[in-house]
């Protein structure tokens, strides 16, 4: 059997006679006309995709991205137009998707985990400085308000901007980047808007809008660092930017309070001498600080371990129970004498067909201590969601109900592939039903079921919805939310740590994800190698 398997595994065995003709040959080079046309169409589509990807990269000036896109398109052309790259023709799509959807996100998560990316630290230092300055523009107590008409000298699209301003007394001024001057020979309408002014071109609303970017930077200087800025299309006010960035000292000075905030490029924010920081920071690399933050935290270390134990127990017990229950139902319905099998099967599969999100919420309702179905119907007083062990049982119970139909489906399929004669032969040899099942049916079943069981385990290991929608990780002990709740999985625990309701801490979350990634990878590698061993033994 062993030789048989290696033959189907894809790699030609040692001493295999000749390389078999690969079916893809039909589509390469000298294939049929249809093949050629399909190939041309697909390549054309792919190139279009490439161009579609390059355009925004070009606008953003991202030359590395463009280089990558061009290289990928060139590679695809080479692989599918050359005759010598037959194996690559099969491998390239899979590899590209693997890179795009698996390897790139993992690498990106890893690189994010080394930064302080979070709310208040999303952009660059330049962005932070410009928003600090913009947010510091304050209008004086008794500052003048003007009715604004935006005009230009010359062409509406490129001419220099001029603010035609009317104050409360009806006097009109022209404001340019040089300053304010009296405006003569202007007509002022009833709303205060200038309707005509000699030498200036008045702009329509959409012409003003087209110059939004210029307007943002435009202020008519009025001395002392104050300036008249626009607010909408028809009003302007005098304001004063209280905070200014000085490149020489790499600091922001507040002219109102006299405080100086110095840039701290390690923490990515401006800090005052008393430790007060400006809210707008920027993204910087922080090395392994995010990892240290949880690895060196004693609360984390303690709760991490208990969470991990419960996480494994949860995934293992759900996997075991759905397997036992699914298999038991499958065996029962496999009995040939059974009537109405189709009806039973549909009924059993029903939970699987419903939206699991809605089901979790329904279960949550049923577990309600006072109004829930369980306590009311059974006359119990169990605080399902408030007591640690009851909550654990509740989470497992709901998941077994949701998970066993899938196991049932797989087991039914696998059972049907096992010839009934094997069981009958075992009975002739004198085996009882249990012995026949244990030594004949089960080993054959496990060949099909083992990978599914591993997948179920891995899925439940990270079954975020199951816990988040039922208990949100609770109930919590006396240590509160900083340590894990009784039903917290690693994924819900870390989610709570990294994304509290308002602040998204991407860097920290990424560090925690990297850690979970490592745990799940190690678990998977170990269990996969264990399965191989299992299969060999059974044979």
Q: Which of residues 68-127 bind other proteins (CB under 8 A)?
A: 77, 81-83, 119-120, 122-123, 127
User: Are the C-beta atoms of 523 and 529 separated by less than 8 Å?
Assistant: no
Out of 158, 223, 274, 371, the residue judged to bind other proteins by CB under 8 A: 371
Footprint of other proteins on residues 229-288 (CB under 8 A)?
229-235, 237, 239, 279-281
Closest CA to 330 of 279, 220, 404, 222: 404
Query: Measured from the CB atom, is 29 or 67 closer to other proteins?
Result: 29
Q: Which two tokens stand for residue 194?
A: 């200038």
Query: Measured from the CB atom, is 117 or 321 closer to other proteins?
Result: 117
Contacts of 370 (CB under 8 A, 6+ apart): none
Out of 48, 96, 380, 518, the residue judged to bind other proteins by CB under 8 A: 48
Q: CA 92 to CA 203: how far, in whole Å?
A: 56
Q: Which two tokens stand for residue 184?
A: 């003569």
Q: CA 131 to CA 121: how far, in whole Å?
A: 12
Is residue 385 close enough to count as binding other proteins by CB under 8 A? yes
Q: CA 62 to CA 60: how far, in whole Å?
A: 5
Query: Measured from the CB atom, is 206 or 355 closer to other proteins?
Result: 206
Is residue 478 close enough to count as binding other proteins by CB under 8 A? yes
Provide the 8-state DSSP code for 236. Answer: E
Query: Measured from the CB atom, is 39 or 345 closer to other proteins?
Result: 39
Closest CA to 222 of 168, 150, 153, 143: 143
Is residue 130 close enough to count as binding other proteins by CB under 8 A? yes
Out of 365, 380, 425, 433, the residue judged to bind other proteins by CB under 8 A: 365
Is residue 501 close enough to count as binding other proteins by CB under 8 A? yes
Is residue 369 close enough to count as binding other proteins by CB under 8 A? yes
Q: Which two tokens stand for residue 536?
A: 């060999």
Is residue 351 close enough to count as binding other proteins by CB under 8 A? no
| Count of residues engaged in binding other proteins, rule: CB under 8 A | 80
Out of 156, 253, 475, 520, the residue judged to bind other proteins by CB under 8 A: 475
Backbone angles phi, psi at 21, to 5 degrees: -70, 125
State in angstroms the smallest separation of the CB of 121 from other proteins: 9
Query: Measured from the CB atom, is 241 or 333 closer to other proteins?
Result: 241
User: Are the C-beta atoms of 359 and 400 separated by less than 8 Å?
Assistant: no
Q: Please name the helix (run of DSSP H) or strand (run of DSSP E) that holds residue 384, with its range, or none.
A: none
Is residue 159 close enough to count as binding other proteins by CB under 8 A? no
Out of 291, 344, 459, 476, the residue judged to bind other proteins by CB under 8 A: 476
State in angstroms the smallest separation of the CB of 41 from other proteins: 7
Footprint of other proteins on residues 208-237 (CB under 8 A)?
208-213, 215-216, 229-235, 237
State in angstroms the smallest separation of the CB of 183 from other proteins: 20
Backbone angles phi, psi at 67, to 5 degrees: -55, -45
Query: Measured from the CB atom, is 88 or 233 closer to other proteins?
Result: 233
Closest CA to 515 of 535, 536, 530, 495: 495
Footprint of other proteins on residues 188-207 (CB under 8 A)?
204-206
Interface stretch with other proteins, choices 3-11, 18-26, 309-317, 364-372 (CB under 8 A): 364-372
Q: CA 525 to CA 354: how far, in whole Å?
A: 32
State in angstroms the smallest separation of the CB of 130 from other proteins: 8
User: Are the C-beta atoms of 214 and 204 separated by less than 8 Å?
Assistant: no
Is residue 502 close enough to count as binding other proteins by CB under 8 A? yes
Out of 32, 34, 47, 181, the residue judged to bind other proteins by CB under 8 A: 47
Query: Measured from the CB atom, is 449 or 491 closer to other proteins?
Result: 491
Is residue 135 close enough to count as binding other proteins by CB under 8 A? yes
**271, HSE (Cβ side, Cα atoms, 13 Å):** 8
Backbone angles phi, psi at 244, to 5 degrees: -135, 145
> How many other β-carbons are positioned within 10 Å of the β-carbon of residue 4?
8
Q: CA 227 to CA 423: how far, in whole Å?
A: 92
């Amino acid at each position: 059997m062993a030789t048989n398997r290696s033959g189907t595994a894809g790699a030609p065995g040692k001493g295999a006679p000749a390389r078999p003709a690969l079916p893809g040959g039909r589509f390469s080079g000298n294939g049929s006309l249809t093949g050629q046309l399909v190939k041309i169409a697909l390549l054309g589509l792919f190139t279009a995709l490439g161009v579609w990807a390059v355009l925004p990269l070009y606008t953003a000036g991202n030359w590395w991205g463009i280089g990558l896109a061009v290289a990928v398109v060139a590679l695809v052309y080479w692989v599918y137009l050359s005759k010598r790259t037959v194996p690559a023709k099969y491998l390239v799509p899979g590899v590209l998707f693997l890179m795009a959807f698996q390897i790139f996100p993992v690498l990106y998560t890893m690189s994010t985990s080394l930064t302080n990316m979070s709310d208040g630290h999303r952009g660059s230092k330049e962005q932070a400085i410009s928003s600090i300055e913009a947010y510091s523009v304050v209008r004086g107590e008794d500052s003048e308000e003007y009715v604004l008409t935006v005009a230009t000298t010359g062409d509406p699209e490129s001419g220099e901007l001029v603010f035609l301003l009317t104050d409360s007394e009806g006097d009109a001024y022209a404001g340019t980047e040089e300053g304010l001057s009296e405006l003569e020979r202007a007509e002022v309408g009833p709303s205060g808007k200038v309707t005509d002014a000699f030498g200036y071109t008045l702009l329509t609303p959409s012409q003003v809008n087209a110059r939004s970017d210029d307007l943002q930077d435009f202020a008519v200087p009025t001395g002392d660092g104050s300036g008249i800025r626009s607010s909408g299309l028809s009003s302007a006010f005098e304001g004063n930017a209280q905070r200014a960035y000085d490149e020489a000292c790499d600091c922001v000075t507040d002219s109102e309070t006299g405080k100086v905030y110095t840039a701290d490029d390690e923490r990515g924010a401006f800090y005052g001498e008393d430790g007060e920081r400006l809210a707008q920071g920027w993204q910087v690399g922080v090395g392994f600080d995010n990892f240290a933050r949880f690895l060196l935290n004693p609360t984390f270390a303690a709760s991490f371990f208990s969470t991990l134990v419960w996480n494994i127990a949860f995934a293992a017990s759900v996997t075991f129970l759905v397997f036992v229950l699914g298999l038991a139902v499958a065996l029962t319905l496999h009995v040939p004498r059974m009537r109405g099998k189709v009806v039973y099967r549909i009924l059993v599969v029903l939970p699987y067909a419903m939206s699991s999100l809605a089901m979790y919420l329904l279960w949550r309702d049923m577990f309600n201590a006072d109004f829930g179905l369980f306590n009311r119907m059974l006359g119990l007083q169990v605080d399902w969601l408030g007591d640690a062990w009851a909550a654990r049982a509740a989470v497992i119970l709901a998941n077994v109900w949701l998970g066993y139909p899938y196991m049932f489906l797989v087991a039914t399929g696998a059972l049907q592939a096992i010839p009934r004669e094997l069981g009958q032969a075992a009975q002739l040899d004198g085996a009882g039903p249990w012995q026949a099942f244990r030594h004949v049916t089960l080993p054959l079943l496990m060949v099909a079921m083992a990978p599914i069981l591993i997948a179920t385990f891995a899925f439940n290991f990270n079954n975020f919805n199951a816990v988040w929608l039922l208990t949100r990780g609770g109930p919590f002990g006396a240590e509160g939310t900083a340590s894990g709740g009784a039903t917290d999985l690693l994924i819900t625990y870390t989610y709570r740590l990294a994304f509290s309701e308002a602040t998204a801490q991407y860097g920290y979350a990424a560090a925690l994800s990297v850690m979970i990634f490592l745990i799940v990878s190690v678990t998977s590698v170990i269990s996969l190698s264990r399965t191989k061993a299992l299969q060999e033994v059974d044979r």
